[in-house]
Amino acid sequence: MPELQVSVVLPYYLRLAEGDYQTAQAGETVQILAPLLLEGTAPRTPVRARFNPEDSADPDEIQRRRARCGEQLLRRINSLLRWYRSVSRRADITELTRAQVSPFRFEATGAVAAAEWTAPLEYEAAGPQPVALTLEQTTQAVRAGLAGGDDPDVADLFLLDAERALHQGRFRETVLFCWSTIDSVFNRRFDSLVELALAGEWVEGREFFKGLDFKLRNKMSAGMHIFAKRSLFREPGDLWQRLSASYNRRNAIIHRGENATEDEATQAIDVARRIVQIMREV
């Protein structure tokens, strides 16, 4: 079993004493080191932690275990950053993505480990990608939209806000932006489907299907099957599982003040994009 020391350098300088910082989980610490001082650049804070992953001779399994160690370190760092931000009142200090602290550096501090365990682990930032339009296409579309008198669809703007929040390390906000998008797009289209299918029906009957008593995931599954012949529960792949996991994370953030990880934020964007696409098709 190799004993690994995993370290990264934060893009921030944290005004904290050097030493170990214990998390709520027994045995989980993150160590603050002396600031990194390079000529011509602002000081930055290095941090590190130790891990004891199970040994393996499989290069792919080693890579997965190294990545898991990096994820655990980043989770501890982001927890520390939330507290530092709150205590110091530094609004510019936000949680960090894997790419923002990359590379993760590994050092074997116990038994000698194979080189596969100690190679740096790097992640590249993949920010929001602009649509590939020509100058003429962009100009015509902007002129047409502006002259039409309406604002862009809320889904388009909220998803851009979500992507920006993700790549700034604001994972909770990413999830909430995505579910604001889903709530807006899904409910508006679902209500119109109900009105179309139940035109002339008893008003309270129509309102039940559109109201809170019918609950969101009931609308997305049985309700969509009834009124659009396309249930999100029956969509191919694992959309329903990812949707439900993201919905539960959204509720945990809103009702219990919990946090979100980078992967949960990414999943929320993927789910929101898919739901917007489906609701525009039905």
3-state secondary structure 65-82: HHHHHHHHHHHHHHHHHH
What's this model's pTM, rounded to 2 decimal places? 0.81
pLDDT attached to residue 110: 63
> Could you give the domains of the chain?
4-118 (no CATH), 135-281 (1.20.120)
Using pLDDT thresholds of 50, 70 and 90, give the confidence band for residue 172: very high
Query: 152 Cβ partners below 8 Å, 6+ apart?
Result: 145
- What's the rounded Cα separation, in Å, for the pair 86 and 91? 8
Give 50-83 pLDDT, tens digit per residue: 998 888 888 899 999 999 999 999 999 999 999 9
pLDDT of 29 > 80? The answer is yes
E strand segments, the chain: 4-9, 19-22, 29-32, 46-51, 105-108
137 neighbors 33 (Cβ within 8 angstroms): no
Q: Report the chain's C-alpha Rg in angstroms.
A: 24
Q: Which residue is associated with the tokens 């609308």?
A: 219
pLDDT of 196 > 90? The answer is yes
Amino acid of residue 100 = Q
pLDDT attached to residue 75: 92
Give 113-135 pLDDT, tens digit per residue: 677 889 999 998 776 667 778 88
pLDDT attached to residue 1: 65
Tell me the percentage of the chain whose pLDDT exceeds 70. 97
- What's the rounded Cα separation, in Å, for the pair 204 and 190? 16
Using pLDDT thresholds of 50, 70 and 90, give the confidence band for residue 174: very high
- What's the rounded Cα separation, in Å, for the pair 27 and 25? 6
Query: 17 Cβ partners below 8 Å, 6+ apart?
Result: 32
- What's the rounded Cα separation, in Å, for the pair 230 and 220? 9
Per-residue pLDDT, averaged over 257-281, amounts to 95
Q: How many CB atoms lie within 10 A of CB 156?
A: 12
Helices (H) and strands (E) in the chain, counts: 11, 5
pLDDT of 2 > 80? The answer is no
- Output the six-digit token pair for 146: 């502006």
pLDDT of 247 > 90? The answer is yes
Q: Which of 34, 27, 41 is nearest to 7 (CA)?
A: 34
pLDDT attached to residue 128: 65
